[in-house]
Amino acid sequence: MDIQEIVRKVVEELSKEKKVIKEYVEPIKEDSIRFPEKQIKGVKEPHNAASIDRAQSITPARIGIGRTGTRMQTTSYLQFLIDHAAAQDAILKDVSDEFLQKIELKKLETKAKDMKTYLMDLDSGRKLSDESVAWLKENGDKNKDVQIIVCDGLSSSSIEANIEDLLPALMQGLQLKNISTAKPIFIKRGRVWVQDEVAAIINCSLVISLIGERPGLNTDESLSAYMIYRPNEKSVEADRTVISNIHKEGLAPVEAGAHLSELIEQMLRAECTGISFARKSNINL
């Protein structure tokens, strides 16, 4: 029997098997597999169930999930894979143009032409591309109190999950306080320090960056807000104030918007951010 005949018979057998599977196995529906949003106790007959309940109530860590022999239970392992895949997607995928159009954000870019460059060359995400610099010089709102920047950072998922609620709340809070605000912009593959260059170009008093945090296995939707007053070439990390953990299971986006507008009002009055603001305000951020 020659090779072509062997291949033909194999294909015939595989076709028969697929036909049998199609006829006798009901297809799995998309919603037929469900994973609990809250942790479940996988420990069978625990000595102290109350301690597991308490631990699970104060942390999203995988505590009390049980085991089968020396391994995770299947449900826990599949949930781990789902969370890991979500974290990878958050980093590697882009915020969609449709979403940016929906919330009316102009898209600028940094010198990081792709995600590999962004991850390997930190400075590439701290400087705007030449085209974006030219656009901002020509079209940016100059001499305002506040400039809001939205950056995908390390989690595009956090932008699409939070900005629709956070940005209007922040804008409304600033408007009610009579704080002049430039039209918000989106910067693709931006890092925190890109805000310094933006502030220098448009001459704003304070710049706030809403940027996607590094995703973990507990959430891929966490956002941070970095604020700095009048940044310059001597600015360092200690000059910035950051509010982190903004997401539905942390600091809710709408609540964060209101809180940030209050902070910004205080920072503009104090004319500082970061450690200097904490000392002057006698608060612990």
The span from the CA of 223 to the CA of 259, in Å, is 14
| DSSP reduced 3-state for 276 | helix
Q: Write phi, then psi, for 44 (nearest 5 degrees).
A: -80, 130
Residue 213 annotated as lining a ligand binding site? yes
Rounded to 5, what percent of the chain is helix, strand, coil? Answer: 50, 15, 40
Interhelix angle 253-270/274-281, nearest 10 degrees: 80
Question: Can you read off the two tokens belonging to residue 70?
Answer: 């020396």
Strand segments, DSSP code E, in the chain are 106-109, 146-151, 185-188, 206-212, 223-229, 241-246
Residue 104 annotated as lining a ligand binding site? no
Q: Write phi, then psi, for 233 (nearest 5 degrees).
A: -65, -15
From the annotation, which residues make up the binding site? 192, 213
**Residues making up the binding site for adenosylcob(III)alamin:** 192, 213
